[in-house]
Amino acid sequence: MHCDHSPSFAMPTPAMTASAVDDAERLGAAAGFVREQDTSVLLSRVLPGLDGPELRALTDRCRFAHAAVLVFPPDEQALRRQLATCGLPADVPAQPSVVVRDRLAARHHRDAADLDVRILRPAVQGPGGEHRVVEVFALTVPPGSGLSGIATDERRADHEAHLAFDVARPDPLLLRGLLASFERHGAAAGGGGYNPHEDGTVFYFTAPSGTKTPYGRVELYASGDHRDVLAEHLGRQVGERADRQAGAGQPDSARPSSGQASPAQPDGYRAAETLLRLLTGAWTTQALATCGQLRLPEAMDRDTGIGAAELARAVGADPRSLATLLRYLAMLGVVSEGPDGFRLTEVGALLEAEAPSSMRPLALMYGGPFYQSFAHLTHAVRTGQPGFEHLFGENHFDHFARDPELRALFDRSMTSSAPLFEAVPEHPVLTAAATAPGRARTVVDVAGGTGELLDRILSAHPALHGVLLELPHTLAAARARLAGTEVGARCGYLAGDFADVPPGHDVYLLSRILHDWDDERCRSILRHCADAMPRDADLLVVERLLPTDGTASLAVAWDLHMMCNTGGRERTVDHYARLFEDSGLVLVGHSPLALGAHTLHARRG
C-alpha cells in the first residue's frame, strides 16, 4: 500500500477518476498537506491576491488546524492499517459523525440509518511543531455492498474534503472582519452551524475560483457561541444564492429588490475597499510605532480592562485622541475592547519594552528612520540607489554608527525576530559539532550583533564554545549582555570587520548579513569565510528565500525593504548557490525556519 507524502498540492483533485486514486493515497496526501503547510502561505493560496497587512492580520488570528478527507474502508481494521501506513496514530478513537452521515444520505437519497459514518482525528505536527489533526471521515463499505456507488461518486467529487482554520481569541468584531476578508477575496458564504456540545461555531466558505489549493471548501472555527454573527453569514449565503439564481434567468419575483446594488457593483466596491486597505498600510505602521512610543503595553493588562481616559492619564495623552488610536489598534488585534475597557492582546504584548523578544525596537525603527526612507522609494526604483542614502546622505550602517541612541535601537531591533532563531540550534551541523569526540568545537558568529543567536546555540549545546566577531561598539553591548552568564564564559569576543574572520574553527555563521549587500560585496564576505574555514568546517547562512512560483512570502516584502534602505536584496536558493560557488563554497542543503527564513548549509568546494 502506497502513501503519498509528496508536497501537499499534489493532492488528488476532483477531476481525477476514482480508479486513479485509492483511499490510502488520498489519506496520505491529506496527512502530507497538514504536516507541510505554513499558515501564512496557505492563506495566500486559498485567497489569491491576499497579501501585505491583510495577510499578516489574518495570519495573526487564523491558524491552520486540519484538512478533512472521506474514505471508504471495508472494515475498521482496514482503516486502522491505512492510518498506520500513512504515519498516523492508529489507536485514535472513532466517534459517529451525524453531520456527514446526514449530508451523504441527502445527496444520495439513502436512509441515514444505513450509513455507518465515523470521524477520527489523528494528530500530526506542522512544520514548526504546531499541533494539527487530519480529520478522517470513514464510511464503512464492505465488499459487495450496495454502498459502493456512494464511494465511487464521493471519491470523484470529494464533497467532504475541506481545510480548516481555528480563530484565535474570537469576538464578534473580529469574526465579522475575518468573514469580510474572505468574502472580499472571492470566497462565498457556504453555511455553518453552532455545536453546543463543543461550544464552538463553524463558518463554511466555498473557495474562490482561482484558489491555488485542491480544496473547494474552507472552514473557520471559532470557540464559543457566535450565532448572531453566524446568522449574518447564513443570510449572505442566501443572498448570494438569490443573486446566482437571478443571473441565471429566474423570474423577477426571485430577483433582488430594486434598492439592491447590481451584481457588477459589489466587485467594484471590493476592489476599491481592497485598494484603500493597502493605501492605509502606512497608518498601521505609525499606529504601532505610536503604541510603542507611548508605552501603552506597559500601562495595560491582558486580563483586566482599562478605560481610555484612565489610560490617557497614565501615559500622558489626550483622552479623545487616544480613544481613536485604541479603536484602530483594536481593529488590528493589538488591543481588544470590552465592557470594562481596553485590554492588551498577545500581539500587543510584543510591543512591551521588557517582553521576551520585544518587537518594540522594531516598531520604532519601522516607524522612524526606515519609515522616512520609504518616502523615497520612487527614487530607489528609478535610480537603483537606496532611498535611505538619498534622504540621509550616507548608508544606514554609517548613519547609525554616528548616533549612539539610534545605533542601540537598531541593535535591539535585530533581536526582535528571535522566533526565527528557535530552530537554528537544532541544525544537524551544530548537533554533530556538539557531540563530536575529542576537543571542544567552536562556532564563529560573523557580524553576530549582540549575540542573540550565539547565546541560543551555546545554551542549547554546553559542549560548544563561541567567538563573536563584531564592530567595537556592538561588541561592547554583547559583552554587557552576556557578562556573568555561563554562556559568556564560553564565548570569545573579536573586534573587527568581515576581513577579520578568524581561521581554524569548526562552524561559521552568517545570520541575516548577506541580504544587506549587493552580489559583489556578498562574494567578498563569503570569500573571507571560505579562506578562514578549514577543509572540514561548515558555514550556516540564515536568510529569507524568495519564492520562485509567485507565492506570497515575507521575503518579497523584505526584498523591497532592503532595496530601499541598504541597497541589498533577498535572493532565491539558486541565487545563493551561485554566490557560494563563485566564492569557493558549495551549497549542501537548506532547511526552513520560522518567519519565512531558511538555514543554508555550505562547505568549501
Which residues are annotated as catalytic? 515
Backbone angles phi, psi at 219, to 5 degrees: -120, 135
Q: For residue 459, give the C-alpha cell.
A: 545554551
Q: What is the 3-state secondary structure (H, E, C) of 348-367?
A: HHCCCCCCCCCCHHHHHHHC
The CB density around residue 223, as the number of other CB atoms within 10 Å, is 14
What is the rounded distance in angstroms from the CA atom of residue 44 to the CA atom of residue 547? 13
What is the rounded distance in angstroms from the CA atom of residue 189 to the CA atom of residue 175? 13
Q: Minimal CA–CA distance to 539: which of 511, 575, 572, 499? A: 511
In Å, the largest CA–CA distance within the chain is: 86
- For 492, residues 6+ apart whose C-beta sits below 8 A from its C-beta are 465, 466, 467, 468
The CB density around residue 250, as the number of other CB atoms within 10 Å, is 13
Spatial contact of 54 and 552, defined as CB atoms under 8 Å apart: no
The CB density around residue 95, as the number of other CB atoms within 10 Å, is 9
What is the rounded distance in angstroms from the CA atom of residue 143 to the CA atom of residue 333? 53
- For 135, residues 6+ apart whose C-beta sits below 8 A from its C-beta are 66, 67, 68, 69, 119, 120, 121, 164
What is the rounded distance in angstroms from the CA atom of residue 401 to the CA atom of residue 408? 9
- For 478, residues 6+ apart whose C-beta sits below 8 A from its C-beta are 448, 449, 450, 451, 468, 470, 493
Q: What is the 3-state secondary structure (H, E, C) of 183-234?
A: HHCCCEEEEEEEECCCCEEEEEEECCCCCCCCCCEEEEEEECCCHHHHHHHH
